[in-house]
């Protein structure tokens, strides 16, 4: 990012037009600040609003999008070009803190030390030559994910689902898995989150003692679209500093990436651009790519991204959903039908997929068991119409056995979560991949054919299910 030197950094101007979050700033003299550079609007020493240049209207006027509320601003207010992109505080000093898009502290704690380094939020992705091949798996302790949708360290995983199917709970459980299984840094980007959710997450992290290795970056629902649009970039910049300078592994969690796209569509409309398909911004593909391509491993350190993606009206053909899906390695699809049946986590084992489910990466045994589990569940799904119309009695012996085993597999892949203990009263379980594979293989081989289905529901390992079966008599 080039910075203008000398007096041009302090090039002054004034607000010539103000429409909500959109500002037109007229400068006294060229050169104009570049696209994506920050401008401070307001009286020096008083309240200032940070805006970002989005277009050049003529030789002396730029159009900007405000990253903070513009209430109180008026035409004629002074504006100052900073000569660089917006910067965010990074490093050890931001651990345990809650920041907004500009890096201001939002947790009522003391201000950040003055010597805290700052990096620009717009950065180039690392070149392909610097990215090592991804081979190490990220073990979550969640059976259905580790078996059927394995995630990679340094990879990108996304959880797609409509409203109320459990995306945020799953993200919280993955934070818990990172803290218990990996001694890395977690950076949480709350994009368009409700204020209540941000407050609850801050309290939960303080109570569990993990806040010291976590950075929370929020652009909440009540903030201007510019803040919600740029807050993932701030979180990415914090993550990149830990990866590149301190060489530490980072788990980047984003909830919710659809709100990032939605904010971009709002900004595009405010700037007067013509909409594209389904009303989305014409720059949808390039905006998503600019975000996703910065998530990568460099050398020994990696950024592993897990993203929640809201699916509007459960329509998986929505342009925002398909554009985000094109960038991820592991695609976890949450099913409303499974949530309605109480099968939690409500992950659709057929609709979910991962490029890592390959014998060369996960091993022959894991790949074979995963394929057999998928085949059994798919066969059960094909027969469901027949069963609902005619009953199980009309099935042949082989089909009936497959259906019974598939139902047991479906229940074995449910699991109580650590983060839901307070609500359910059931202790959460973390299950190793070895135990998950062994349990599924035993069910496929018929070892559990005589068991009650309820014995396999909401348990950890097969040993837990065996104990439950014995207790039931």
The Cα–Cα gap between 308 and 138 comes to 17
Distances (CA, A) of 327 to 131, 156, 309: 16, 8, 13
Per DSSP, helices labelled H in 108-256 are 143-148, 167-181, 195-208, 225-244
365's CB contacts (< 8 A; 6+ apart) are 437
CB 453, CB 411: distance < 8 Å: yes
Determine whether 213 is an active site residue: no
The Cα–Cα gap between 355 and 367 comes to 12
Neighbouring-strand partners of residue 417: none
| 61-66 vs 22-27, strand pairing mode | antiparallel
Catalytic: which of 167, 228, 411, 466?
167
| 78-85 vs 37-41, strand pairing mode | antiparallel
Q: Is the dihedral of CA 11, 15, 17, 19 positive or negative?
A: positive
CB 105, CB 99: distance < 8 Å: yes
The Cα–Cα gap between 429 and 445 comes to 24
Catalytic: which of 52, 173, 193, 223?
193
Residue appearing with tokens 């203008």:
4
**What DSSP element (H or E) covers 56?**
strand 49-56
Neighbouring-strand partners of residue 106: none
The Cα–Cα gap between 284 and 379 comes to 38
Determine whether 194 is an active site residue: yes
Q: Is the peptide bond before 245 cis (omega within 30 degrees of 0)?
A: no
Per DSSP, helices labelled H in 250-396 are 257-270, 284-292, 319-325, 336-340, 359-362, 364-390
Q: Which tokens sit at 142?
A: 């969640």
Residue 13 DSSP SS3: strand
Catalytic: which of 194, 277, 381, 434?
194
Determine whether 114 is an active site residue: no
Residues belonging to the active site: 167, 193-194
């Amino acid at each position: 990012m080039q910075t203008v030197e000398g007096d041009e950094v302090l090039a002054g101007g004034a607000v010539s037009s103000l429409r909500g979050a959109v500002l037109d700033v007229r400068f006294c003299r060229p050169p104009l600040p570049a696209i994506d550079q920050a401008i401070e609007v307001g009286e020096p020493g008083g309240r200032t609003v940070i805006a970002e240049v989005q277009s050049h209207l003529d030789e002396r006027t730029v159009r900007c999008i405000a990253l903070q509320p513009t209430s109180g601003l008026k035409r004629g207010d002074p504006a100052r070009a900073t000569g660089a992109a917006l910067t965010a505080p990074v490093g050890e000093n931001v651990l345990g803190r809650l920041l907004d898009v500009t890096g201001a502290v939002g947790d009522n704690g003391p201000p950040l030390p003055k010597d805290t380094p700052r990096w620009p939020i717009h950065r180039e992705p690392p070149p392909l030559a610097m990215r090592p091949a991804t081979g190490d798996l990220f073990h979550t302790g969640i059976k259905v994910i580790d078996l059927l949708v394995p995630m990679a360290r340094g990879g990108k995983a996304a959880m797609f689902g409509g409203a109320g199917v459990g995306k945020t709970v799953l993200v919280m459980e993955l934070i818990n898995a990172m803290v218990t299984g990996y001694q890395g840094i977690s950076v949480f980007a709350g994009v368009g989150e409700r204020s209540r959710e941000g407050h609850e997450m801050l309290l939960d992290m303080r109570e569990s003692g993990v806040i010291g290795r976590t950075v929370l970056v929020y652009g909440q629902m009540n903030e201007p679209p510019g803040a919600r649009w740029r807050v993932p970039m701030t979180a990415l910049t914090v993550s990149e500093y830990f990866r590149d300078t301190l060489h530490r592994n980072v788990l980047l969690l984003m909830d919710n990436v659809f709100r990032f796209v939605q904010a971009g569509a709002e900004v595009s409309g405010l700037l007067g651009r013509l909409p594209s398909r389904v009303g989305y911004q014409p720059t949808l593909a390039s905006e998503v790519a600019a975000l996703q391509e910065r998530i990568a491993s460099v050398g020994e350190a990696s950024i592993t991204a897990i993203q929640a993606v809201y699916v509007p009206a459960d329509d998986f053909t929505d342009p925002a959903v398909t554009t985000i899906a094109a960038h991820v390695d592991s695609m976890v699809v949450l099913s409303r039908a499974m949530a309605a049946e109480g099968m939690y986590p409500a992950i659709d084992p057929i609709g979910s997929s991962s490029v890592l489910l390959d014998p060369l990466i996960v091993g022959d045994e894991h790949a074979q068991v995963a394929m057999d589990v998928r085949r059994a569940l798919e066969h059960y799904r094909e027969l469901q119409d027949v069963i609902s119309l005619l009953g199980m009695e009309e099935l042949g012996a082989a089909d009936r056995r497959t259906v019974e085993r598939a139902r047991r597999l479906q229940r074995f892949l449910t699991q109580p979560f650590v983060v839901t203990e307070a609500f359910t009263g059931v202790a959460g379980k973390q299950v190793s991949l070895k135990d998950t594979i062994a349990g599924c293989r035993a069910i496929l081989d018929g070892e559990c054919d005589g068991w009650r289905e309820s014995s396999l529901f909401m348990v950890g390992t097969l040993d837990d299910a065996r104990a439950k079966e014995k207790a039931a008599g």
